[in-house]
C-alpha cells in the first residue's frame, strides 16, 4: 500500500513544475498548458485524498475541475486566436499597449 504522503508529494512537485513553467515561459499557448499541468496536479491530490479518506467528494470535485478546465481552455484559446489575428504574435511581451515605453 502506497502511503498518502507519496501522492501528495508527487502532486506538489508537478504543481510547482507547472508554476515554474507559467512564470518563465513567455508564450501564451505554453502558459495555458502550464495551467493545465497545475490543475492536473490538484486533481491527483484530490483523488488521492478522497481515496484515503474513504469519501467520494474528492472525485466529484475532480470531475468538476476537469469539466471546467475544458471550458476554460476553449475560452482561452478563442481569446488567443483573436489576439493573434489582431497582433500577429502570441508572445506575452508583444502585448504591451498599456505599458509606458
Partner 1 sequence: MVKIIFGYFAIVIIASALAGITRKNLVYSLCWILLMFIHIGGLYLLLNAEFLAMVQLIVYAGAILVMFLFVIFLLNLKEEIKEAVFIHKWSSRLYGIIFLIFFAFLGVWNFKNNFKGLYSIEFIEKEGHTKIIGTVLFNEYLFPFLILGFILLVPLLGVGIVALRRKTNGTT
Radius of gyration of the chain (CA): 17
User: Cα separation of 36 and 30, whole Å?
Assistant: 10
Does position 44 bind partner 1 by CB under 8 A?
A: yes
Does position 87 bind partner 1 by CB under 8 A?
A: no
Three-state DSSP state, 88: coil
Residue 80 or 100 having the CB closest to partner 1? 80
Provide the minimum distance between the beta carbon of 97 and partner 1 in the complex, in angstroms, as a whole number. 20
Does position 99 bind partner 1 by CB under 8 A?
A: no
Tell me how long the chain is. 101
User: Cα separation of 36 and 11, whole Å?
Assistant: 13
H or E segment and range at residue 16: helix 4-24
**Residues making contact with partner 1 (CB under 8 A):** 1-2, 4-10, 12-21, 23-27, 29-30, 32-34, 36-37, 40, 43-44, 47-48, 50-57, 59-60, 62-64, 66-71, 73-75, 77-78, 80-82, 84-85, 89-91
Amino acid at each position: 500500500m502506497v502511503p498518502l504522503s507519496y501522492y501528495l508529494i508527487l502532486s506538489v512537485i508537478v504543481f510547482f513544475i507547472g508554476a515554474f513553467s507559467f512564470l518563465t515561459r513567455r508564450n501564451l499557448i505554453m502558459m495555458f498548458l502550464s495551467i493545465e499541468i497545475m490543475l492536473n496536479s490538484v486533481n491527483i491530490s484530490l483523488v488521492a485524498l478522497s481515496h484515503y479518506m474513504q469519501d467520494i467528494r474528492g472525485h466529484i470535485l475532480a470531475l468538476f475541475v476537469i469539466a471546467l478546465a475544458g471550458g476554460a481552455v476553449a475560452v482561452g484559446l478563442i481569446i488567443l486566436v483573436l489576439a493573434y489575428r489582431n497582433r500577429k504574435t502570441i508572445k506575452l511581451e508583444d502585448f504591451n499597449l498599456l505599458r509606458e515605453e
